[in-house]
Amino acid sequence: MSTSILGKGPIFVSGADGEKASAIVEQILHFPQKYHYLAAQTVYAGVPDASTARAKQVEALGAELVAFDIFNDHARAVSALQKVTKLCLVIDPLSHRINRSNAYDYGKKFIDAAKEANIQHIIFLTPFSPLDPVSPPVTPSAEISMLNLNEPQTFRSQFMLIESYLRSQFDSRCTTILRYPGILHQHLVVFRKYIMEHNAFPVPHRYLENTVETSNMLDIARAVACIAHSPVSRHGNQAYKVTGPQLLTLQELSTRVLIGLRRDVAVNTMDMPTLKQILCDSIGNEEHVVFLLEMWGLQQKLHGRRFEVTRDLEALTGQSGKTLNEFFEDDSVFASFMSANPCPFVA
């Protein structure tokens, strides 16, 4: 029986010139070297421009570059996806191509192309989970009906619409949802400049007791690689949530960061406009700031937001993920906070 019949075969990763997608490409390529019982699969890295330095780095890992503009070249997208069995649909709001007005269109165009190309399995990554204001939990489509889409678009609404559209176009047995909620450890680097100048961590005064979930880029990439190398039947019709092994309040989070950076614990509380301006000064892109605040649950009041530590990562990979303390034990992480140069961060 062929690998394609088994639901295993060539894999396409969208947005492969982004931090997260390139990490996913690297892990998918690395898994057969680490686990010798796995057959190596061809990995196609989807990029808008194959000449960029990041695209060349991904190609050097062993991926085959496929360059096209998903917004304007449907035929090229279909042709690229006809070569593969699985699509890892990665949408990076921290790229310069994605914003609140086109995120849904980006996802929809990839889903439409995948359907025409007869893709067997779509792995969709999303930073957002459905709210749970009532019992039983609402479905993504039910939540969308509660959103007032006449208001300014949010990244949350865009991702939930993409998820709903995916479910409407593909049999659920052909889809896997991978959620990576809350604050990503790497996002904390955006506070590097403020911490260095003020020797304190900035937090909004009204949210100190908010509990946040954490996830780590490498953990996300490993989880995707595990799903991508498995038969469709193993992970189809599943929704996983990748979280680290701990829950922290914003107060606890800021304390752990400063201890990890070997600084005295000091927290500067402020209103949301001030915090947003600090982020804007650090990042220089208001759309990116909006996305980070949404991920952290600070951009709008989300009644009934769920907080839970799952064992999904452990079930997928046999490991429970990094704690925040362990994250700062990495010398390269410490150096990234201390560097005088701007640091990259991931979606």
Q: How many domains does the chain have?
A: 2
Task: Give the pLDDT of residue 346.
Answer: 47
Are residues 178 and 272 located together in one domain of the fold?
Answer: no
Angstrom CA distances, 162 to 49, 106, 128, 144, 215, stand at 24, 9, 11, 10, 22
Task: Give the pLDDT of residue 149.
Answer: 44
* Residue reference for tokens 């000064």: 281
In this structure, is residue 14 part of a structural domain? yes
Task: Give the pLDDT of residue 135.
Answer: 38
Q: How far apart are CA 162 and CA 251, in angstroms?
A: 33
Are residues 155 and 70 located together in one domain of the fold?
Answer: yes
Task: Give the pLDDT of residue 213.
Answer: 82
Q: How far apart are CA 124 and CA 236, in angstroms?
A: 11
β-strand pairing of 121-126 with 43-47: unpaired
Q: How far apart are CA 176 and CA 17, in angstroms?
A: 22
Are residues 158 and 44 located together in one domain of the fold?
Answer: yes
CB 59 within 8 A of CB 45: yes
CB 13 within 8 A of CB 88: yes
Task: Give the pLDDT of residue 305.
Answer: 56
CA atoms within 13 A on the CB side of 22: 17
Are residues 118 and 259 located together in one domain of the fold?
Answer: no
Are residues 31 and 176 located together in one domain of the fold?
Answer: yes
Q: What backbone torsions phi and psi does residue 296 show, to the nearest 5 degrees?
A: -85, 0
In this structure, is residue 309 part of a structural domain? no
Q: How far apart are CA 219 and CA 23, in angstroms?
A: 10
In this structure, is residue 221 part of a structural domain? yes
In this structure, is residue 315 part of a structural domain? no
Task: Give the pLDDT of residue 303.
Answer: 53
Are residues 87 and 192 located together in one domain of the fold?
Answer: no
Q: Which of 200, 226, 241 is the last residue of a domain?
A: 241
In this structure, is residue 35 part of a structural domain? yes
In this structure, is residue 343 part of a structural domain? no
pLDDT tens digits along 157-173: 999 999 999 999 999 99
Task: Give the pLDDT of residue 83.
Answer: 95
In this structure, is residue 347 part of a structural domain? no
pLDDT in tens, the chain (347 residues): 345 556 789 999 999 999 899 999 999 999 999 999 999 999 999 999 999 999 999 999 999 999 999 999 999 999 999 999 999 999 999 888 999 999 999 999 999 999 999 999 999 999 998 864 433 444 555 544 444 444 458 999 999 999 999 999 999 999 999 999 877 777 888 998 899 899 999 999 887 888 888 888 999 999 999 999 999 999 999 999 998 888 888 889 999 999 999 899 999 999 999 999 999 998 889 999 999 988 887 765 555 555 677 889 998 988 888 888 888 888 888 888 877 665 555 44
User: Helix, strand or coil for residue 183?
Assistant: strand
Task: Give the pLDDT of residue 332.
Answer: 81
Are residues 279 and 172 located together in one domain of the fold?
Answer: no
Give the domain range for residue 152: 6-182+215-241
Report the 10 Å Cβ neighbour count for 303: 6
β-strand pairing of 211-212 with 248-249: antiparallel
User: Helix, strand or coil for residue 261?
Assistant: coil
Are residues 177 and 32 located together in one domain of the fold?
Answer: yes
CB 54 within 8 A of CB 34: no
Are residues 166 and 203 located together in one domain of the fold?
Answer: no
In this structure, is residue 44 part of a structural domain? yes
Task: Give the pLDDT of residue 244.
Answer: 84
Are residues 45 and 133 located together in one domain of the fold?
Answer: yes
Are residues 101 and 223 located together in one domain of the fold?
Answer: yes
Are residues 282 and 140 located together in one domain of the fold?
Answer: no
CB 73 within 8 A of CB 112: no
Q: CB-based burial of residue 60 (10 Å sphere; 0-12 exposed, 13-18 middle, 19+ buried)?
A: exposed
